[in-house]
Amino acid sequence: MSRPAARPDDEREFVKEIPSKAEHFSDWYTAVVLKAELADYYPVRGCIVVRPYGYTIWELIQQGLDRRFKATGHVNAYFPLFIPQSFFEREKEHVEGFAPEVAWVTRGGGEELSEPLAVRPTSETAIGHMYARWIRSYRDLPVLINQWCNVVRWEKATRPFLRTMEFLWQEGHTAHRTAEEAEAEARQMLGVYRDFAETDAAIPVLAGRKPESEKFPGAERSYTIEALMPDGQALQSGTSHNLGQNFARAFDIKFLDSDNVEKHAYTTSWGVSWRLLGGMLMVHGDDRGLVLPPALAPFQVVVVPILTGPKRDDVLAAAREVARRVGAVARTRLDDRVEVTPGWKYNDWEMRGVPLRLEIGPRDLAQQQVVLAPRAGGGKQGVPMSGLEQSVPEALAAVRRALFDQAKMYLDAHIVAARSLAEVVEAVAGRRGFVRAVWCGAEACEQAIRRQSGASPRVITEEAADGPCVACGAQAREVVYFARAY
């Protein structure tokens, strides 16, 4: 990415406002979230207020995902925030997995409740209960429902978007006639997540199956997309679970099949939270602030008129006209404020991550051009005013491509192959990213690697395994990627 000729004074001032991403990553993250007005703190631990600019990004994430959910046959519904304790305890692994982080309501209206209500940490149980009422026949299947909602998990350490006590997400819950259908659904949604992450968010991911120990509590198989953050840690960015018949048995989700035999349904669940937003900030941002992929940028284009000289009014009129025309092909904002200078606006919009800036001044007006300044992937260039309907979308596409390519190069460069346990330990210690290994998949081997390296197995891909297990030396069955994780 090219940066304009910088003057030392400005650089120093800038660094004062936003810490270096490379040197103070955590501080950098917090600073950009606050300064770009994505979110703010609230006096309850672990809770954030999502401000309009941040919420608009979330809405764009919602739209991108929702469009894909609808295209794959899903519909939206809404289930309640409160879950009776008794529901919650029906699935053994589920209750054990979530017990430590569930918030309970025990009083209401001034009286002790006869049965405590869980504030949902996820809704498999509530939805399972309802599916049992709704499903009678194989003709009722599949049920393909998604809900957009909030959930609460009593986390010990929190960070804006990445781990908050209350967070927004979507959770899809489906019920199927056969195991094969459920498995296909879980895999399909993993594919949807991958497509969204890589296309709209421009984040390359490793996609695959979760090892046993990392499965969702109560799931038969869990799938995940894992992204690599600049500090070398993995971020689980979306998960999809094949729940088999576990929840159907726990909640009596049964149907009469065409052979007149009553059977338990097969269910799935899958979710993406606003954590993905946090991941996107970390992956693409730089020392100047945010860099938003065009698909998820509240403003894809900002038009900055240079209001000076005798042609001032003409420049403003031209800028308005450009903003109007570009507004037809991209989300566009005209920044015609007179109280701040153009340079201030450049820095401000760069900090907020706007992918493309158009500058129009008296010189441009004379040449019937605008200066096009992409936030990433190239330097400023003048383009003819007449062709903006083509050049702007092209420039936005180039920004997306540059962001993805840059992140992909980083990901590829930070996958270290390890052929022994010692190499796994060494690679993890270097915080270089993912450590690729082959293993036999045995629990003992996994635990050994975990203990000695401090890293967890993030994802098992479908690559063919070759050679001996890094832990025990037996014939390896799978390719697994280890990393420290968020």
Partner RNA sequence: CGGGGAGUGGCGCAGCUUGGUAGCGCGCAGCGUUCGGGACGCUGAGGCCGAGGGUUCAAGUCCCUCCUCCCCGACCA
Scanning residues 45 to 84, which ones bind RNA (CB under 7 A)?
45-47
- Smallest gap from residue 252 Cβ to RNA (A): 23
Which tokens hold the place of 1? 């990415």
Residues 6+ apart with CB under 8 A from 160: 29, 30, 33, 38, 39, 41, 48, 278
Ramachandran sector of residue 467 (left: φ over 0; alpha: ψ -120 to 50; beta: rest): left
What is the SS3 assignment for 476?
coil
Cβ proximity to RNA, 159 vs 325, nearer residue: 159
Q: How far is 18 from 435, CA to CA, in rounded Å?
A: 31
For RNA, the closer CB: 21 or 210:
210
Q: Can you tell me which of 144, 184, 329, 371 binds RNA, judged by CB under 7 A? A: 371
457 binds RNA (CB under 7 A): no
Give 224 or 406: the residue with its C-beta nearer to RNA.
224
Would you say 49 or 417 has its CB closer to RNA?
A: 49
Beta strands 262-264 and 254-256: pairing type? antiparallel
351 is a site residue for RNA (CB under 7 A): yes
Q: What's the number of CA atoms in the CB half-sphere (13 Å) around residue 42?
A: 13
Among 147-155, 177-185, 386-394, 416-424, the segment contacting RNA (CB under 7 A): 147-155
Pick the closer one to RNA by CB: 255 or 433: 433
Residue with Cβ nearer RNA (281 or 476): 281
Q: What are 411's two structure tokens?
A: 């990901």
- SS3 for 430? coil
Decide: is 17 part of the binding site for RNA (CB under 7 A): yes
324 touches RNA (CB under 7 A) = no
When asked if residue 105 is in the footprint of RNA (CB under 7 A), the reply is no
Sole binder of RNA in the list 52, 73, 80, 100 (CB under 7 A)? 100
Among 21, 68, 120, 153, binds RNA (CB under 7 A): 153
Among 20, 63, 86, 308, binds RNA (CB under 7 A): 308
Residue count of the chain: 486
Strands (E), 257-307: 262-264, 266-273, 301-305
Q: What is the CA radius of gyration of the chain?
A: 25
Interacting span for RNA (CB under 7 A) from 79-87, 153-161, 406-414, 432-440: 153-161
Answer yes or no whether residue 19 interacts with RNA by CB under 7 A.
no
Contact between 147 and RNA by CB under 7 A: the answer reads no
Binding segment (CB under 7 A) for RNA, from list 68-76, 178-186, 191-199, 337-345? 337-345
Q: Look up residue 366 and give its two tokens.
A: 């004379």
Nearer to RNA, 183 or 350 (CB): 350
Q: Rule CB under 7 A: is residue 244 a binding residue for RNA?
A: no
- Assess contact for 254 and 265: CB atoms under 8 A: yes
H helix or E strand, kind and range, residue 357: strand 356-360
Residue 137 vs 308, nearer CB to RNA: 308
Name beta bridge partners: 481: 436, 459
Half-sphere exposure of 264 (CA within 13 A, CB side): 14
262 binds RNA (CB under 7 A): no
Contact residue for RNA among 157, 260, 313, 466 (CB under 7 A): 157
Whole-angstrom Cα distance, residue 195 to residue 192?
Answer: 5
Q: Which of residues 390-449 bind RNA (CB under 7 A)?
A: none
